[in-house]
Structure 1
């Protein structure tokens, strides 16, 4: 049996996410936006809750097409708030719309959102060598700086803890513990 990180449960969805996505570098703006939205919705909830609703999120949010999401109006946001297949938090739904608009502003400024976020790690993943869960941080100075800049630009639900989780999910940081086969 493969040894996995401490947080990976026996749930097949979690195992697949751990083995095939978490910590793998993502440079595609569409996928980066998906993770930004999902991480913001995860705030205060477990990641498995979000994973179980991921396909519902994709359907509800036009496959995370940030161009479409940026144009959502009050009626569409209310439709989302009533959608039992997703997390129905009004503030998080509004944040997804605002963040989509600002996401495109960053693309205009930097050429891509990927260029912007990856610059915070000098365009290559930070590979940590943690052997125990107690060593894995919830935030770092880099997540603090990225969070601060996103907030300055008007992004919502992008605190340092959310941003560090985003960095882990998109492979900007590889926090697979040293006993994990993915390290």
Structure 2
């Protein structure tokens, strides 16, 4: 097997991180189910490492009905209790409850905009932001745009959508491409 010596962002240190970095991070997502999945996973990540979430991703998909927001929106107390017993996911009642609340709010946004995709991408007029950072230390945790989206989501009743989580979400769904200049996925403009 040929060794992969492509230069990546410095955080892509494990095989799982490399796969996520190479195939997902910074790539535009327009599928509502995938947009919902990433919103929930970013909220679950709060206070934890992203590697923890990636390692549990398959279990999250199974536990949350493949992130079918229509099903998640109908979860009741019994389902929440069952999720709290699932050792393969993050067992935090506030985070699990937020996934259910966010599914309901997600559907309301779809009803208003036709899709969540239309809503979230309207912030950038459908065009990704390609940043030009030399180092990962230059990448901000929040931006005025993540502040704005966070405020809007909170106003709409979403939970676990602070500006830092929203900025990570923007990176995860490709609204923002923050691959650094030395990374092979960097997009010069």
TM over 0.5: yes
Q: After TM superposition, list the pairs within 5 Å mapping 1:144-183 onto structure 2.
A: 144-183=147-186
CA distance, structure 1, for counterparts of residue 86 and residue 95 of structure 2: 13
Deviation at 1:133, TM superposition (A): 1.5
Q: Give the whole-Å Cα distance in 2 for the aligned partners of 1:112 and 1:140.
A: 24
The residue aligned with 2:69 is: 66
Distance in 1 separating the partners of 2:137 and 2:66 = 35
How far apart, CA to CA, are the structure 1 residues paired with 2:136 and 2:70? 38
* Aligned partner of 2:23 among 20, 24, 27: 20
Structure 2 gaps of 5+ residues are none
Aligned residue in 1 for 2:7:
3
Deviations 1:110-147 (A, max 9, x none): 00000100011111100001011221000001100000
CA distance in 1, matches of 2:53, 2:156: 26
- Supply the distance in 2 between the matched residues of 1:7 and 1:145 (Cα, whole angstroms): 27
Deviation at 1:174, TM superposition (A): 0.2
Q: How far does residue 46 in structure 1 lie from its aligned partner after superposition?
A: 0.3
> Which digits, 9 at most, give the CA deviation of each residue in 1:71-111, with x for residues without a partner?
00000001001100000000000000000000000000000
TM superposition shift of 1:163: 0.4
Q: How many residues align?
A: 182
Please, which of 37, 41, 46 is the counterpart of residue 44 of structure 2? 41
Instruction: Report the 3-state secondary structure (helix = DSSP H, G, I; strand = E; otherwise coil) of the residue aligned with 1:57.
Output: helix
Distance 1:22 1:3 in 2: 15
Where 1:130 maps in the other structure, the secondary structure is coil
Equivalences for residues 18-167 of structure 1 within 5 A:
18-167=21-170
The TM-score normalised by the length of structure 2 is: 0.95
- 1:65: how far off? 0.2
Q: 1:32 Cα deviation (Å)?
A: 0.2
Matched residue SS, 1:182: coil
Measured on the aligned residues, the alpha-carbon RMSD in Å equals 0.5
Task: Output the CA distance in 2 between the equivalents of 1:63 and 1:134.
Answer: 34
CA distance in 2, matches of 1:125, 1:78: 39
Which 4+ stretches in 1 moved above 6 angstroms? Answer: none
